[in-house]
Amino acid sequence: MMISEVYLVLFSALLSVCSGATATIPIKRTTVRFKFDDFKLYNEHVGAFQRFVVCVSHLSKGSVYGSQLTLPQVGHQHPLSRHDGQSTFYHILYTGSIAIGTPPQPFRASIDLSWSDTFVPSVECLQDLVSGCRGQNTYNSSLSTTYRPNKTVTSLAYGGLSTLGYLSQDVLRVGGLEIVDQQFEEVTLWRSMYWNAAPLDSALGLARLQSRTPASNASTKSALRSMLDQKVLSRPVFSLRLPRRDNESGELALGYSPSGFLVQSAVTLPLIEATAPEDLSQLSYYISSGYTVELQSVAIQSSLRNNPGGKKTSTYKAVFTNSFSYISFPGPLFTEIQTHLHPNVGLDDALADLDCSMRDDLPNIMFSFGKNAVIVLTPWDYLTEVLDVEKGMRCVLPFASLPQADDEWVVLGSAFMEGMYTAFDLEKSEVSLSMSRQ
């Protein structure tokens, strides 16, 4: 072989390695409108679903359900509440395309910073009278040459879904990246609180650590954790740019920093170790995924003297998650902020959907993470635009307060993350924030 041919072979090999070490996944935003009463109805359905599972476990001796299985007793009540007489709230989903198997079988996956377990509906999914897996993409293990059986019985609840199934292993494909032997739940019983087909088939978990999910007993590695362990990525970094509207596109960049990320103006923060409470609450779930930073203060930019958070000297702990559509403050701080916004939106209008023209009347909110580490959100940043079928374009006030014992936790949900690049460097254990005015 000639020297030039040797170089050509080496170059081709390096090119294939480099091209396979990064990926860009377009993100679609979907706004889901729920009624609080739906959760009550859903709980009733889930109760019946659980009793059905127990019945199946008795009747199916010799199958994967041959032994008694107890589903996790998950409270599907929404953790927030409305006091303004309105009965609806909005949940924002961010989905992208993944595939499992050889040849690839496609699925719509919720891209989730806090989640671990991968799941997909199986072709074996039993059809119940209400929904079953109708309208969902399904996985057929007999069509995949890389499928490996496991058959451990599992169950989970995620994003308005409750499932029962068993573990399987196959190649997970994410934007050209291949994660071999990824464990996932192959769903055979599927209960959804969506009136039509669920707008997702799966979840692409980006949890850095094993998330403590009371709604799941699968305890499998997140897709991100598998990428890191298998050294699939050229660099242990990824970034999210969440779209601000349903008709816009965002992106998940794996293994590299996107060109739109402005390093010069970025605020870079160290990730800190945080112990999640033992109560297995929603807050504990967010904390356990591994994306916590220190937050010194939260203040409303106003000429008034009574700035919420302005006099507090001790720091909060803030956790990033796009599983949560809002921004949660400790109870006292939340009350101060709502009081400060009155009479613009009212004292009790938690999660209110407002006329978007009110953006001109509301103040900026300043998050101080330390010296020279400040993020200022304008009302155009923190109000979440939704298109309501009854009211037209609305802007949701995203401030809430999740139950917590110590009043020290702030949850920076998608209302905070939309409109900026959130870049995670897992080698340096840090997160960088850069505003994107796209």
**pLDDT given for residue 134 in this prediction:** 84
**β-bridge partners, 411:** 319, 328
**pLDDT given for residue 170 in this prediction:** 99
Query: What is the b/e burial string over 149-169, where b = at least 16 CB atoms within 10 angstroms of the residue's CB?
Result: ebeebbbbbbbbbbbbbbbbb
- pTM of this structure: 0.84
Q: Residues in the chain with pLDDT < 70?
A: 1-20, 36-87, 126-131, 214, 260, 262-264, 280, 302-314, 342-350, 436-438
**pLDDT given for residue 309 in this prediction:** 52
Q: How many CA atoms lie within 13 A of 98 on its CB side?
A: 30
Tokens representing 155 are 């169950």
**pLDDT given for residue 280 in this prediction:** 67
**pLDDT given for residue 133 in this prediction:** 86
**pLDDT given for residue 131 in this prediction:** 53
Q: What are phi and psi of 201, to 5 degrees?
A: -110, -20
Cα four-point dihedral sign 92, 98, 99, 105: positive
CB proximity list for 378: less than 8 A, separation 6 or greater: 359, 364
β-bridge pairing 88-100 and 23-35 = antiparallel
**pLDDT given for residue 160 in this prediction:** 85
**pLDDT given for residue 53 in this prediction:** 44
Tokens representing 184 are 């996932």
What distance in Å separates the CA atoms of residue 78 and residue 86, rounded to the nearest whole number? Answer: 14
**pLDDT given for residue 258 in this prediction:** 83
Taking a C-beta distance cutoff of 8 angstroms, is the pair 69, 60 a contact? no
**pLDDT given for residue 68 in this prediction:** 34
**pLDDT given for residue 377 in this prediction:** 94
- Whole-angstrom CA distances from 181 to 102, 221, 251, 308, 390 are 12, 11, 25, 50, 46
Reduce the DSSP state of residue 176 to 3 states and report it.
coil
What distance in Å separates the CA atoms of residue 289 and residue 295, rounded to the nearest whole number? Answer: 18
All structural domains of the chain, each given as residue ranges with its CATH number in brackets, are 24-58+65-232 (2.40.70.10), 260-435 (2.40.70.10)
β-bridge pairing 364-370 and 297-301 = antiparallel
What distance in Å separates the CA atoms of residue 110 and residue 27, rounded to the nearest whole number? Answer: 9
Tokens representing 132 are 């079953």
